[in-house]
Structure 1
């Protein structure tokens, strides 16, 4: 019940921030984008002073080279980049459409990539400092348990636990443990103790949601003034969640709003989308919620995202044409991208995504897909095979995410459903550049718009757009679901 209330309140907050578009969410993003850096810095300063933090950092920079041959590792890495940068969700395209037409998008892309890399490394340092600290705590508890076991097995040899620790130094005992010499020294201990391996303890640390809600929560209890750190940490998680949802929703809302397929006002459309997402989210508040999150994240959040990104590259580079795309970039940035970008867009990126996708599919289904489930007997997470109905749900999730692409293609190809507003709206959102204007000339709706609004289109016709134009008018000029960037109504 508590999780359901929190979920509803979170979506209400998201709606209030997004209902007016960039005008409202843009101001909130100043907080959601900067506050996590402040909290992360505070955690870095505190966690770096904890015992075991340096061991955690050493573990972070100690690679397991065998994992590089696992395709799922590369898929997870690619998915992480897609999530952290918002690729394939439509948010970047939606936000970018508010920039000036002459905005240097190439520099923005480079800066964004560098900032994303540095942020990932920065947060990784904090995470592994905390993991190292918790691993050290668990490791010391493990060793302390063996000391107590020694006292139980050899009560006649040592008078007290303190005497035992004085007689057998910790470093000496760790040496015995790691080299398994304790079996000969204390034969009864071999069956009564567990092997305490620091690396194994860190490697078995919680991941995903468990990292945030288990490991960090336990670590915060060891900090001075735990309530303060807890409030800061969970506020940071809230800000990160809000920032992610702003971009995702803006990508969907802007696309539907600009297409003219849905004619309701923007606040109403936003309310419907937020309400729908909230209802779907109720599934994650059940007792099996963490397993649903794992199912959605593993299938819909990786395979579908990779396919969508692949279709985007194919649409821009091969359908629209890479030469037109290069002309557009040269027109907007005054510099033509070099051979590196051309080769990357045309060959490297599509091939890499195809290899990652199919190799991951083969790896996943060569063995039955599994998920981590709680075992009440061993009180540990064990790998459990997905039931058949769960795999069917996963297939539906991926299919639903990919269905709009072929659906719209066949609708436009065979003229099953005439969408009158998309071409005029697209041409005005784009500005348009000389290449897009030339391509859109083949569309009848575009030609009718040109004939009916010749005076308005004089600056964006075959002579190219005005250099003072913009990809969108400012948010202050947008009222409801309309905008003066759309063509005027025809009689």
Structure 2
């Protein structure tokens, strides 16, 4: 099922891309795609949306990458796997963006003529009813001319007639329609539906399009569900006894929680959570992940583990990026999201005003921002709770282990303390596994592990006795 859900959307995307290349205005759309607008690069909102796209597309902070790596066996090259994921994500983004530009370009090219036709028909009906004067009657062949000529005819009218014609004409600008439904979920369900309706054989392409949406959504939910269910089944003792019940409870909870999106204000809630709340929470989670790996656990110790897995050191610039580039970038992105949410004039939604009969931008109420803060804190609570639980249990194990030993047999390692000592039974068990695993190691791994064991036994003051076991190896860092 996973293989089908992964490859089938790509088949549909390629079909859409090939079909879109033969649409009217395709070349102009591709030129627009590769055109860079330098003033846009100074917009913080653009960088905020770009950062959110990277988080969503790579599933950073959601646990799906960690779940994927858990299926790999010892000796697999995780660096190549991560590089493949990034390259495939880049190709997918470029392909889907090209399709979006091609369809929107086709819509912009063809919607002008249809909009002019509807405006002319509306003007003729108003003239027949006596609402407009005969001076507002458009030329008879204006429908068959290019849309710019319709605008030229309006500009040539007298000023008072021109205002009446503009007031009763439909807005044909694609920029006006962008404010209504070309952002968020409206782009997929409204714009693409209108574009597909103009395709030859539109019924077939509509079925293909919504089938691709359903398949992609299901595959995304399956991978997200794995990242939630598997840790609960393995780490929570009560849930491990009933593993089949865990996905049922998680899916039922997600279903009940998502009922709020079906309310009258559901689209506003979707926009608030999808565009503001979730990306900011994911940024915070990735910040903690990078901080734990690069600074708490240590890049040197992590590179040593990769050496033990692959038999060669990781590329040196990766360590520099993990330590000194990723963290400032994430903190800058978090600052942009924080200011965007809690700035008084930035967070707004578009709603319909009955008294003025038009759509208007309305700021979110303060109670909504309070709920955003509460949900953010609630989502981040497991980050400090689990390490505190591990620290508490580790402290109890050390006390119990030391109390069982006679006073004469206790040895104090120079430079160590209670917080950095590992329980003795864990060290003995790790050493026994090391002896059994040396027979299955390659020469490079064997020499590396022997060197690490020598450093552990010497108890030199230049090395810490705090080591992290990875599988059957116990590594010590300077």
Structure 1 length-normalised TM: 0.74
Contact 1:71–1:356 (CA<8 Å) still a contact in 2?
A: no
Equivalent residue, structure 2, for 1:252:
228
Equivalent residue, structure 2, for 1:411:
389
C-alpha separation in 2, matches of 1:339 and 1:264: 44
Equivalent residue, structure 2, for 1:183:
155
Equivalent residue, structure 2, for 1:319:
296
Contact 1:370–1:385 (CA<8 Å) still a contact in 2?
A: yes
Distance 1:448 1:231, change over 3 A: farther
Cα deviation, residue 133, structure 1: 2.2
SS at match of 2:72: coil
Equivalent residue, structure 2, for 1:267:
244
C-alpha separation in 2, matches of 1:241 and 1:386: 28
Equivalent residue, structure 2, for 1:200:
175
1:136-215 counterparts in 2 under 5 A? 136-145=109-118, 147=120, 152=127, 155=134, 161-164=139-142, 169-170=145-146, 173=149, 176=152, 182-184=154-156, 187=159, 188-193=161-166, 198=173, 200-201=175-176, 203-204=178-179, 206-215=182-191
Which of 131, 138, 162 aligns to 2:104? It is: 131
Equivalent residue, structure 1, for 2:216:
240
Distance 1:214 1:195, change over 3 A: closer
SS at match of 2:313: coil
Structure 1 residues 101-137: Cα deviation after superposition (integer angstroms, max 9, x where no partner): 1111111111211111111010111112112222234
Equivalent residue, structure 2, for 1:47:
20
Which of 388, 413, 416 aligns to 2:366? It is: 388
Q: Which runs of 5+ in 1 are unaligned?
A: 1-27, 421-439, 470-484, 487-491
Larger mean Cα displacement after TM superposition, 99-108 or 125-134: 125-134
Contact 1:150–1:189 (CA<8 Å) still a contact in 2?
A: no
Equivalent residue, structure 2, for 1:8:
none
Equivalent residue, structure 2, for 1:348:
325
C-alpha separation in 1, matches of 2:111 and 2:289: 47
Contact 2:350–2:362 (CA<8 Å) still a contact in 1?
A: yes
C-alpha separation in 2, matches of 1:114 and 1:154: 62
Contact 1:253–1:269 (CA<8 Å) still a contact in 2?
A: yes
Larger Rg: 2
C-alpha separation in 2, matches of 1:305 and 1:267: 28
Distance 1:384 1:131, change over 3 A: same
Aligned residues: CA RMSD: 3.4
C-alpha separation in 1, matches of 2:354 and 2:376: 32
Cα deviation, residue 365, structure 1: 2.5
Cα deviation, residue 138, structure 1: 3.2
Cα deviation, residue 212, structure 1: 1.3
C-alpha separation in 2, matches of 1:453 and 1:331: 15
Equivalent residue, structure 2, for 1:74:
47
Does residue 1:118 correspond to 2:91, yes or no?
yes
C-alpha separation in 2, matches of 1:418 and 1:82: 38
Cα deviation, residue 293, structure 1: 1.3
Contact 2:123–2:136 (CA<8 Å) still a contact in 1?
A: no
Higher RCO (CA < 8 A, seq sep 6+): 1
